[in-house]
């Protein structure tokens, strides 16, 4: 999975990126579909075989870790992903790790059995930690990932803010993780929650680029779904202010399926292999054509 490609274009008189033709946008969307990564839960394993008709060999498939899920289920999901010819990228919510030994054994097994080379570290939804890791930086500092050869790491990006953290806290956390990664030879990428309006992502990306941050920024999107489904999962996943973009659409009062240009949530969230409904979050920083233009500054 690659991040945003190319340099940001010069803004026009109104500060907007140059308009693209419909043909160019179609080409960019097609490129997204060919190179996008996807996400699944452990319940989707039976659907993996049918994914081979839609995803290219070696495509990144993120394996989520749900609150009541065991680490063994996460491991077995990653093994199944690898066995089907895809690259597993496990979610590791660090607040659910009871001790360093559990983290050590989990990563060792993921590397040995599923040949994992990338992970997504997140704090997780739990307000309190059950072990020594209250933040992703704590897990990074443990040295467990580097000790097992994992040097490409995703962490959460928050262009729309965070319900329990101030913007100043978020910016400080970004700087601290970037500094640690640079000092220890790690490749750090920021992966966002899905969103419904590109503006917050673009503003966040431009801010980071203006500060000299060249880390990969990966946008979280999702496939076609009914608006009622979009709202449901947006609330559950803590989508930020861009959720208001859903209510502004004409379909909002009719319960119809949202159009392809704005359908950004999981349609059948636990059926990763259904060809018509793309799995959970389609992730790539070029996902939105305006986001693509803001690639690298």
Lowest mean pLDDT among 1-5, 130-134, 158-162: 1-5
Digit-coded pLDDT (tens) for 145-172: 999 999 999 999 999 888 788 889 999 9
Lowest mean pLDDT among 97-101, 103-107, 121-125: 121-125
Mean pLDDT (the chain, rounded)? 78
Q: Residue 223 has what pLDDT?
A: 67
pLDDT-derived band at 242 (thresholds 50, 70, 90) equals low
All residues at 6 or more sequence positions from 235 whose CB lies less than 8 Å from its CB, including other chains: 243
186 or 20, higher pLDDT: 186
Query: Does 107 have pLDDT greater than 90?
Result: yes
Q: Contact, 126 vs 95, CB < 8 A? A: yes
Q: Tell me which range, 11-25, 178-192, 238-252, is most confidently predicted by mean pLDDT.
A: 178-192
b/e map 126-162, b = 16+ CB within 10 Å: eeebebebebbbbbbebebbeebebeebbbbbbbbeb
Q: Residue 165 has what pLDDT?
A: 83
Q: Is 22 exposed, middle or buried (0-12, 13-18, 19+ CB in 10 A)?
A: exposed
Query: Does 3 have pLDDT greater than 80?
Result: no
The encoded tokens of residue 179 equal: 């500094």
Digit-coded pLDDT (tens) for 246-284: 665 545 444 444 333 333 333 333 333 333 333 333 333
Query: Does 33 have pLDDT greater than 80?
Result: no
Digit-coded pLDDT (tens) for 56-69: 899 999 999 988 89
Query: Does 74 have pLDDT greater than 90?
Result: yes
Q: Residue 181 has what pLDDT?
A: 96
Query: Does 220 have pLDDT greater than 90?
Result: no
Query: Does 229 have pLDDT greater than 60?
Result: yes
In the chain, the domains with their CATH numbers are: 22-293 (3.20.20.220)
**CA distances from residue 85 to 32, 79, 193, 271, 278 in whole angstroms, order as listed:** 20, 10, 26, 18, 18
Q: What is the pTM of this model?
A: 0.76
Query: Does 15 have pLDDT greater than 80?
Result: no
Phi, psi at 226, each rounded to 5°: -70, 150
Average of per-residue pLDDT across 170-199: 92
Average of per-residue pLDDT across 205-220: 92
pLDDT-derived band at 204 (thresholds 50, 70, 90) equals very high
Percent share of the chain, pLDDT over 90: 46
d(CA 214, CA 28): 22
Q: Residue 160 has what pLDDT?
A: 85
């Amino acid at each position: 999975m690659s991040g945003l490609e190319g340099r940001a274009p010069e803004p026009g008189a109104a500060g907007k990126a140059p308009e693209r033709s419909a043909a160019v946008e179609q080409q960019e969307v097609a490129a997204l579909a060919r190179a996008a990564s996807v996400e699944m839960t452990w319940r989707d394993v039976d659907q993996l075989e049918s994914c081979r008709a839609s995803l290219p060999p070696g495509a990144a498939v993120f394996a989520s870790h749900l609150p009541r899920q065991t680490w063994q289920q996460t491991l077995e999901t990653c093994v199944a992903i690898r066995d089907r010819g895809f690259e597993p990228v496990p979610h590791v919510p660090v607040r659910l790790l009871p001790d360093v030994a559990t983290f050590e054994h989990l990563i060792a097994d993921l590397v040995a059995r599923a040949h994992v080379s990338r992970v997504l570290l997140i704090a997780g939804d739990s307000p309190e930690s059950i072990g020594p890791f209250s933040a992703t930086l704590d897990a990074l500092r443990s040295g467990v990932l580097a000790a097992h050869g994992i040097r490409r790491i995703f962490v959460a990006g928050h262009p729309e803010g965070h319900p329990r953290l101030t913007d100043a806290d978020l910016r400080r956390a970004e700087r601290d993780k970037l500094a640690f990664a640079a000092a220890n030879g790690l490749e750090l990428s920021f992966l966002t929650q899905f969103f419904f309006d590109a503006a917050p992502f673009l503003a966040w990306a431009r801010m980071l680029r203006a500060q000299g941050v060249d880390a990969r920024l990966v946008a979280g999107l999702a496939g076609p779904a009914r608006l009622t489904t979009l709202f449901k999962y947006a609330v559950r996943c803590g989508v930020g202010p861009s959720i208001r973009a859903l209510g502004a659409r004409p379909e909002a009062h009719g319960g119809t399926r949202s159009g392809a240009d704005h359908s950004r949530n999981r349609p059948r969230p636990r059926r990763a292999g259904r060809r018509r409904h793309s799995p959970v979050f389609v992730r790539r920083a070029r996902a939105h054509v305006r986001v693509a233009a803001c690639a690298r500054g």
